[in-house]
Structure 1
Amino acid sequence: MKRFIGFVKKEFYHIFRDKRSLFILFGMPIAQILLFGFAITNEINNVDIAVLDHSKDATTEEIINKISASKYFTITQFISHEDNIETAFKKGKIKAVINFEKDFSKNLIKERKASLQILTDATDPNTANSITNYINAILQNYQQAENKDIEVAYQIIPQTRMVYNPELKSVFMFVPGVMTIILMLVSAMMTSISITREKELGTMEILLVSPLKPFQVIIGKVVPYIFLSVVNAMVIVLLSITIFKMPIQGSLFLLGAESVLFIITSLALGILISTIAQTQQAAMMISLMGLMLPVILLSGFIFPITSMPIPLQVISNIIPAKWFIIIIKGIMLKGVGISYLWKESLILIAMTLFFISLSIKKYKIRLE
């Protein structure tokens, strides 16, 4: 029995001396519960909306102030004409537009009813439904407050219109997200395992002291996987079109170019992971556990980023998948071009250059 107790004590000592084991045991669960607790929510907060007020009277101003005062919405734009609504949606920041009819206040007083239109960006059907429900709830509260002291009740009639996905098909949200996750995880995992395999076999040292420069070794490792990942992307797009009836409103060429850019970004991230991990097992764990949760939770794939706490919103900006989801939804569902997506494209290019530069630096350090 003493031998067994001594053996157990020894195992405890090994665990407490190994900082990586302690991190997996205590750090990962804490990080996961915080991430899940704050990121997984069906509520909306600080959603950017725009207003088109044809009436511009005291009643519409009061309703606008009431909506703006809530924690759920932030009015960031006042649109002057209906032709500008589509432009506002294509920029990607505005998630809803409230369109007041002309003579809103007069109609409410004379006819006891007035109408307004709620247009929502339904590329994310769940968020679109939530936005509509929240706005309707605010309008109902306003009506109840106004109808307390009058005999004939006022009636505000909201008319809802879902833009880009009028049937609210959930597949329109899931296909871009799933495509992003598959491309990122597969690409990052393939390159990270490929290079750590060389490390384990000892052949990486031979490559690094060969006449090939470090950046040539890295690029040479990445090129075959670019081709394989492009084939993977083509299969995913083909299946989404033929089986799930996913529309592609924009340019197929632009979709292909942006997909290649994202694949290169993911492969560069895999290279970076390979410089940190010493074994294939460690690379696999970092690629799966270290990337899967942030990609699913912080990319805006399922849960709206604007509803998350500010620190998580900031962290989401360093997740490449967030920017690619914006790009792919813009091309496939909104039909926008590079004039609307140049910022997201530049961010992915900058991330790619950063990952590759850091990887080359790491390899140079190994040679010294």
Structure 2
Amino acid sequence: MKQFRGFVIKEFYHIFRDKRSLFILFGMPIAQILLFGFAITNEINNVDIAVLDHSKDATTEEMINSIAASEYFSIDQFIEREADIETVFKQGKVKAVLNIEKDFSQKLIKDGKAYVQIITDATDPNTANTIFNYVTSILQKFQSSKNKSAEFPYQIVPQTRMVYNPELKSVFMFVPGVMTIILMLVSAMMTSISITREKELGTMEILLVSPLKPFQVIVGKVVPYIFLSVINAIVIVVLSIFIFKMPVEGSLFLLGLESVLFIITALALGILISSIAQTQQTAMMISLMGLMLPVILLSGFIFPISSMPFILQIISNIVPAKWFIIIIKGIMLKGVGLWFIWKETLVLLGMTVFFIGLSVKKYKIRLE
């Protein structure tokens, strides 16, 4: 019994000395609870919308103010022409446009009915439906408040139009997200165990005394995985087109270039993890737990980022998957060109350079 107690105490000492094990045991569950608690929500908050007001009278101004006063929507801009609606959606920030018909107040008084068209970006069908329901609810409250003082009750009729996914097929949302998750996890995981495998097999010493420069070692380990991941991406795109009938409205060449850039970003992140982790098991745990949850919860794949707490919105900016999902939805569903996604492309490029640079630095430290 005494020997068993000593063995148990020794194991506790081993656990408490290993900071990585403590982080996995206590840090990961706390992070998961916080992420699931704050990120998973069916509600919307501070969603950016645009307004096309053909009438521009006192009633429409009051109606717009009632929508802007809610915590659910933020008026991002006012547009003047219907031709600008598509441009606004392609920019990616605005999720809905309120198209108010001409002579709105006069039609309410004369006909007792006027129309507001709610145009939503249906690349995310769940969010599009939620936005329509929220706007309709606000319009009904506004209508009720106006009818209290009206001699003849009138009716504001909301009409909906879903763009880019009029049939609200959920596959249009899930295919880009699943493609992002697969490329991120597989690419990062494959490379995260590359250097740690060298350490465990005892071949790291050969690399340390080799004439290869750190940058050459890093690139040499990444290149084969780039080839394999590109094949993986091609298979996913082919399946999405022919099996799930996913449209590709934009350039396949641009889609390929952006996919290669994201693959390199994921591989660079995997190399960084492998240069830090001491064992393959640790590297795999960091790749799975440290990347999977942020990719699923903080990328905008399932839950709208604008509805999350502000701190999570800030954190989401360092998740590469967020930017790639914006890019892939823009190319496949909206048919945008590089002009509309150049910011997201630069972010991924900057992340790639940062991860590779940090990996080389970590490798140099080991050489010393």
TM range (shorter): over 0.9
Query: Residue 184 of structure 1 aligns to a residue in which SS?
Result: helix
The whole-number CA distance in structure 1 between the counterparts of 2:11 and 2:201 is 29
The whole-number CA distance in structure 1 between the counterparts of 2:34 and 2:269 is 25
Which position in structure 1 is the counterpart of 2:299? Answer: 299
2:35 equivalent to 1:39: no
Which position in structure 2 is the counterpart of 1:333? Answer: 333
Which position in structure 1 is the counterpart of 2:284? Answer: 284
Query: Residue 128 of structure 2 aligns to a residue in which SS?
Result: helix
The whole-number CA distance in structure 1 between the counterparts of 2:189 and 2:56 is 56
For residues 321-345 of structure 1, the C-alpha deviation after alignment (integer angstroms, 9 at most, x for no partner) is: 0000000000000000001011100
Which position in structure 2 is the counterpart of 1:219? Answer: 219
Which position in structure 2 is the counterpart of 1:188? Answer: 188
Query: Residue 168 of structure 1 aligns to a residue in which SS?
Result: coil
The whole-number CA distance in structure 2 between the counterparts of 1:280 and 1:21 is 14
Which position in structure 2 is the counterpart of 1:145? Answer: 145
CA contact (8 A) 2:28 2:289 kept: no
Which position in structure 2 is the counterpart of 1:87? Answer: 87
Please give the root-mean-square deviation of Cα atoms over the aligned residues, in Å.
Answer: 1.2
Instruction: Provide structure 2 residue ranges, at least 5 long, that are not aligned to the other structure.
Output: none
Deviation at 1:143, TM superposition (A): 0.9
Deviation at 1:11, TM superposition (A): 3.4
For residues 19-72 of structure 1, the C-alpha deviation after alignment (integer angstroms, 9 at most, x for no partner) is: 333322222211110111000001100000000000000000001000000000
Query: Residue 228 of structure 1 aligns to a residue in which SS?
Result: helix
Which position in structure 1 is the counterpart of 2:228? Answer: 228
The whole-number CA distance in structure 1 between the counterparts of 2:208 and 2:11 is 38
What amino acid maps onto 2:119 in structure 1?
Answer: L
Query: Residue 89 of structure 1 aligns to a residue in which SS?
Result: helix
2:272 equivalent to 1:272: yes
Judged with a 3 Å threshold, the aligned counterparts in structure 2 of structure 1 residues 325 and 2 are, in CA distance, closer, same or farther, namely same
For residues 225-253 of structure 1, the C-alpha deviation after alignment (integer angstroms, 9 at most, x for no partner) is: 11110000000000000110000000000
Which position in structure 2 is the counterpart of 1:253? Answer: 253
What amino acid maps onto 1:231 in structure 2?
Answer: I
Which position in structure 1 is the counterpart of 2:315? Answer: 315
Which position in structure 1 is the counterpart of 2:72? Answer: 72
Deviation at 1:320, TM superposition (A): 0.5
The whole-number CA distance in structure 2 between the counterparts of 1:270 and 1:99 is 46
2:136 equivalent to 1:136: yes
Deviation at 1:3, TM superposition (A): 4.2
Query: Residue 162 of structure 2 aligns to a residue in which SS?
Result: strand
The whole-number CA distance in structure 2 between the counterparts of 1:348 and 1:52 is 33
| Bigger Cα displacement from structure 2, 285-294 vs 23-32 | 23-32
CA contact (8 A) 1:208 1:214 kept: no
CA contact (8 A) 2:258 2:345 kept: yes
For residues 76-108 of structure 1, the C-alpha deviation after alignment (integer angstroms, 9 at most, x for no partner) is: 110000010000000000100000000001101
Counting matched residue pairs gives 368
What amino acid maps onto 1:361 in structure 2?
Answer: K
Identity of aligned residues (%): 82
What amino acid maps onto 1:222 in structure 2?
Answer: V
2:206 equivalent to 1:197: no
| Bigger Cα displacement from structure 2, 16-25 vs 249-258 | 16-25
For residues 147-205 of structure 1, the C-alpha deviation after alignment (integer angstroms, 9 at most, x for no partner) is: 12334211001110000000000000000000000001100111111221112112122
Instruction: Provide structure 1 residue ranges, at least 5 long, that are not aligned to the other structure.
Output: none
2:121 equivalent to 1:121: yes
The whole-number CA distance in structure 2 between the counterparts of 1:15 and 1:225 is 34
What amino acid maps onto 1:29 in structure 2?
Answer: P
The whole-number CA distance in structure 2 between the counterparts of 1:171 and 1:195 is 37
